[in-house]
Amino acid sequence: MTQSYLEIANQIHSQADAVLQRLKLSSLIEMLGELYFTGSYALNLMTWNDIDMQIMVKKELTPQKALMQIMDLFVNQKGLVKAQIINFNYDYKPHWPRGMCLSTQINFPDLGGIWKFDIWSLQEDDLRKNQLLLGQLQDRMSEGAKKLILEIKHELMQQSGRVPKMGSHWLYQGVLLHGLVEKKAILNFLKERGVEIQGAEG
């Protein structure tokens, strides 16, 4: 029996919970600052193994020191694939937050394979803006909107196995904040905001 996109999202989210529990990441980050989940994990709109997090680092720590401690946890995992820290205060891109990002990939063969983790240490105003946006998206979520978003995300994934960069960010806003329901209008909304889309039909 073919799984629905909602069932797939719930399954990936359950695997994500198991991965996070195995890493014991929350207990480490509690010593470094406040942890916030964001993106598709926070909204339960997962279509692939990707978990986005943000940390408000304690004032006595620098973002570099905090992220290096978290990186140490990741690099000692048996299934480590890749780990890097990117400073977006210098490598700044429009529509991207300011701060530092620890991006890692770890293979958990019994929990869906390779998982990607992005942990952002943001400037406080960017973190608060993101949390405000997340709350607005959560407040406007409905079963119908969730089904539509997951359908479009899976369609966008057909070319590369993942949603194009910034695609989910704008997709959520287009459907939940702007009230878009027609697929062609949604895809145009994404393209107008610089999301590179190939093969998706309106």
101 and 118 Cβ atoms separated by less than 8 Å:
yes
Residue with tokens 């990186």: 71
188-193: average pLDDT: 95
User: Could you tell me if 112 and 177 lie in one domain?
Assistant: no
24-83 residue pLDDT tens: 988 888 899 999 999 999 999 999 999 999 999 998 999 999 999 999 999 999 999 999
User: Could you tell me if 52 and 149 lie in one domain?
Assistant: no
162 falls in which pLDDT band (50, 70, 90)? confident
73 and 106 Cβ atoms separated by less than 8 Å:
no
Residue at a domain's end among 123, 156, 177: 123
Q: pLDDT over 90 for what percent of the chain? A: 75
User: Could you tell me if 56 and 153 lie in one domain?
Assistant: no
Structure tokens, 149: 């978003």
Q: Report if residue 22 sits inside a domain.
A: yes
User: Could you tell me if 56 and 118 lie in one domain?
Assistant: yes
101 falls in which pLDDT band (50, 70, 90)? very high
d(CA 159, CA 199): 7
Lowest-pLDDT choice from 25-39, 90-104, 110-124: 90-104
Bridge partners for 86 per DSSP: 101
